[in-house]
Amino acid sequence: MAKTGKQNNDLRTVRKETAVVIGLSGLFCLLLFMTVVWQSETITPLQCGVFVLILYAAACTAAVLLLEKRMKGGSGSETLAPVMGRIMFDAVVKMNNPVFICDSSERIMWYNNATELLHSDKNKLYGESISELFGVTLQEIRSDKSEKGAKITCDGRSFYAKYNHIKTDDNDFALISTVETTEVDALTEKMAGDELVVCYIIIDNLSEMLQYDSEQYRPASARIDEILRDWADEYSGILKEYERDKYLFITEARALDEMIIRKFDILDRVRSVKAGDTNLPLTISMGVSNIHGSYEQKEKAAHAALDMALQRGGDQAAVKGETSIEFYGGVTKSVQKRTSVRSRVICNELITAMKNASNVIIMGHKWADFDAFGSAVGLARIAMYCKSRVNVVLNLADRNLMGCRALIEPEEEFRGVFVDTSQALDLLESDTLVVVTDVSNFDNMELQELAKRTGKLAVVDHHRKTKEFEREPEIDYIEPSASSASELVAEMLEQVLPKDDLSAAEANALLAGITLDTKQFTKSTGTRTFSAAMYLRDRGADPTVVQNLFKQSFEDYMREARFRQNVEIYRDCCAIAVMNSGEGSVSDGIIAAKAADNLLSVDGIKASFAVIRIGQAVKISARSSGQVNVELIMKEMGGGGHFEGAAVQKDDKTVEEMVESLKAAIDKYIK
């Protein structure tokens, strides 16, 4: 009825327009007749009347013809419309890709033949929810503005879906058109699985462990070689030993997926090998590239991943992806290597950089301890040896460092060397070399903006590297097997500094750093540690003076006692202490670390954790007796450190939430 009414209205409009044309034509002819008769002397009125009449008749005939043409044209369109609609409808019904219409409640109201094939019971498609059928909501399809559309799946087939809005007088509907991508996705997955994966493998400690028992080297090396080759055969890869104890492994990406599922169990297989009379397990480190690109780029990525694994202490696999790097393993303590070749090379590079710099700025980590301070003093002495202007960035209000500063500040060369963070940025120049010690994570540096803005950066650290650098330093010396940063710096000083250039006060500061991180030479010590201590003792370090630095005030002693009032023994081997007096101060962070250390003296405790709120942040200090890798536990919570000492800090958690997260991380480590 609505359509017929519209046609009648159109007909009346056309007729009115025709009548107007005929009327205007008649008026025009009348005016023409009067004008000709009035002005012409040669044409008679009869001749003029006949001419005008013919002209009027022609105008009327033309108007009628136009009317008929318009009426016929309208009739043709009305006749063609349903034909075209039927053709389009049949085309949609017979399309090879599913097309369906659903209402505002996401229920299917109509579908074509291709959609019908998606469900075994064809009658059940009517009223079926698209979220149940395809696993996505109508809103998710509508909100996807990408060129291809939203990704949907059904019965093992995959599609891209596009949303089209249909509005009627009474309701709104959605027409969903799809393009199937099942075969393309399968081909893409196959190609991704076929992609080349490059892996570097190195045996960490075989040479060091067997240097006094060379007869055991060959059997142990052959046993590890056999394990590696059997493992490589499982993944149909190619394993080549390109240098003694170093291998190149090439396989496919699908094999890497299986390795990740198994968490690189090859690490455990190698760790089970014992050599000679030693009780320490043999370990390997692996660097794996999981990136797209050329073979050269994959090889470089694998090499960078191996460096990362070694800098974190070895006995682990580092898998470098496009935007991140993942670690597997790392459950054993690092074994110190006896060679000092790398120390000499790094020292020479550092001296060259200092000589070429306009000035040198040295800083440690937030809430600096004796190790950060002592190593910074040693690096400042190297800079002075290079005749470079040098400053050390410290929190000058930190009373935990007052004893150390009292040793060093009377030295004439160190007057004005120590500056706070507010002054540090003013010292930054275009050719300034910033040296960071006892920390490699930018978030934990004393002034991370200084490290980000400098043109030249060097890092000296003994903690396991938890993530890639935000910007790559020109020099990085990360040695997790070392007991402390002070030990690393003492080695460098021994190789380059004349005997009388290191004062007794400086030697005391470095020895205090080693003493702190080794727990009075009872933890993480090796031959290099004692060698560094002997060098410092020879340069005037006094153990009595160093011990006086570790004395605490009665107030500090009482603050530490607050941790002992709230201790929970978890999983029979972990002690969790929480300061139960509310919020602590910055200095209480040091007290928390001491409390964690003292908890290890309790019988049966293998790891200890001290939890404290400082301002808006909650901090956990973790310590281990050597049987539990607290670095892995803290890493699970977003922190880091090394095998026997680590920490984590969160700004968006309560103390209770941090304790629960800690317990979950312990549960994951101790299965």
CB 393 within 8 A of CB 361: yes
The whole-angstrom separation of Cα 432 and Cα 640 is 29
Token pair 């950060």 is found at: 372
As a CATH number, domain 197-329 is: 3.30.70.270
Q: Is the pLDDT of residue 646 over 80?
A: yes
Of how many residues is the chain composed? 671
The whole-angstrom separation of Cα 412 and Cα 13 is 107
Q: Which of 314, 291, 316 is nearest to 302 (CA)?
A: 291
Q: Is the pLDDT of residue 31 over 70?
A: no
Helix (H) or strand (E) holding 456: strand 456-461
Tell me the two tokens of residue 594.
């001491």
The pLDDT value recorded for residue 59 is 63
Burial state string for 421-455 with b = 16 or more CB within 10 A and e = fewer than 16: eeebeebeeeebbbbbbbbbbeebbbbbebbeebe
Q: Is the pLDDT of residue 645 over 90?
A: no
Asked which of 85-94, 418-427, 605-614 is least confident by mean pLDDT, the reply is 85-94
Neighbouring C-beta atoms of residue 263, cutoff 10 Å: 12
Higher pLDDT, 600 or 13: 600
Tell me the two tokens of residue 597.
């250390």
Tell me the two tokens of residue 330.
């790392």
The whole-angstrom separation of Cα 461 and Cα 262 is 32
CB 528 within 8 A of CB 336: yes
Q: Are strands 196-203 and 246-252 parallel, antiparallel or unpaired?
A: antiparallel
The whole-angstrom separation of Cα 660 and Cα 654 is 10
Q: What is the 3-state secondary structure (H, E, C) of 130-167?
A: HHHHHCCCHHHHHHCCCCCCEEEEECCEEEEEEEEEEE
Asked which of 1-15, 210-224, 430-444 is least confident by mean pLDDT, the reply is 1-15
The pLDDT value recorded for residue 233 is 92
Q: Is the pLDDT of residue 537 over 90?
A: yes
Q: Is the pLDDT of residue 514 over 70?
A: yes
Q: What is the mean pLDDT of the chain?
A: 81
- 555-669 domain in CATH 3.40.50.150? no
Strands (E), 522-656: 567-570, 574-584, 607-614, 617-624, 640-642, 645-650
Tell me the two tokens of residue 188.
């893409």
Higher pLDDT, 317 or 185: 317
Helix (H) or strand (E) holding 262: none
Handedness of CA 404, 406, 412, 415 (dihedral sign): positive
Give me the percent of the chain exceeding a pLDDT of 70. Answer: 79
Asked which of 202-216, 412-426, 449-463, 554-568 is least confident by mean pLDDT, the reply is 202-216
The pLDDT value recorded for residue 2 is 45
Q: Is the pLDDT of residue 408 over 90?
A: yes
The pLDDT value recorded for residue 1 is 44
The pLDDT value recorded for residue 337 is 53
**341-549, CATH topology level:** inorganic pyrophosphatase (n-terminal core) (3.90.1640)
CA 448 to chain centre: 19
Strand partners, 532: none
As a CATH number, domain 99-187 is: 3.30.450.20
Tell me the two tokens of residue 351.
């001296």
The pLDDT value recorded for residue 355 is 93
CB 445 within 8 A of CB 365: yes
Segment 601-614 shows an average pLDDT of: 90
Q: Is 206 left (phi over 0), alpha (psi -120 to 50) or beta?
A: alpha
CB 372 within 8 A of CB 342: no
Q: Are strands 640-642 and 645-650 parallel, antiparallel or unpaired?
A: antiparallel
Task: Give 399's Cβ-side CA count (13 Å radius).
Answer: 10
Q: Which of 629, 626, 648 is nearest to 638 (CA)?
A: 648
State the alpha helices, DSSP H only, in 146-252.
182-194, 206-209, 217-234
Please, which residues have CB within 8 angstroms of residue 438's CB and are 6 or more apart in sequence? 364, 365, 368, 369, 371, 372, 375, 376, 460, 461, 462, 463, 484, 485
The pLDDT value recorded for residue 69 is 58
The whole-angstrom separation of Cα 624 and Cα 6 is 89
The pLDDT value recorded for residue 40 is 54
CB 641 within 8 A of CB 467: no
Q: Is the pLDDT of residue 449 over 50?
A: yes
Question: Which tens digits make up the pLDDT trace of 255-284?
Answer: 888 898 888 989 888 888 876 665 667 888
Residue 414, classified by CB atoms within 10 Å of its CB into exposed (0-12), middle (13-18) or buried (19+), is buried
Q: Is the pLDDT of residue 14 over 80?
A: no
Give residue 286's pLDDT band: very low, low, confident or very high (50, 70, 90). very high
Q: Is 135 left (phi over 0), alpha (psi -120 to 50) or beta?
A: left
pTM over 0.85: no
Segment 241-254 shows an average pLDDT of: 90
Indicate the DSSP class of residue 537.
H
Please, which residues have CB within 8 angstroms of residue 509's CB and are 6 or more apart in sequence? 370, 373, 374, 377, 378, 404, 407, 408, 486
Among 178-182, 249-253, 471-475, name the most confident range.
Answer: 249-253
Sheet order of strands, 360-363 included: 418-419, 390-393, 360-363, 433-437, 456-461, 475-478
CB 495 within 8 A of CB 340: yes
Q: What is the CA radius of gyration of the chain?
A: 41
Furthest-apart CA atoms within the chain: distance in Å? 145
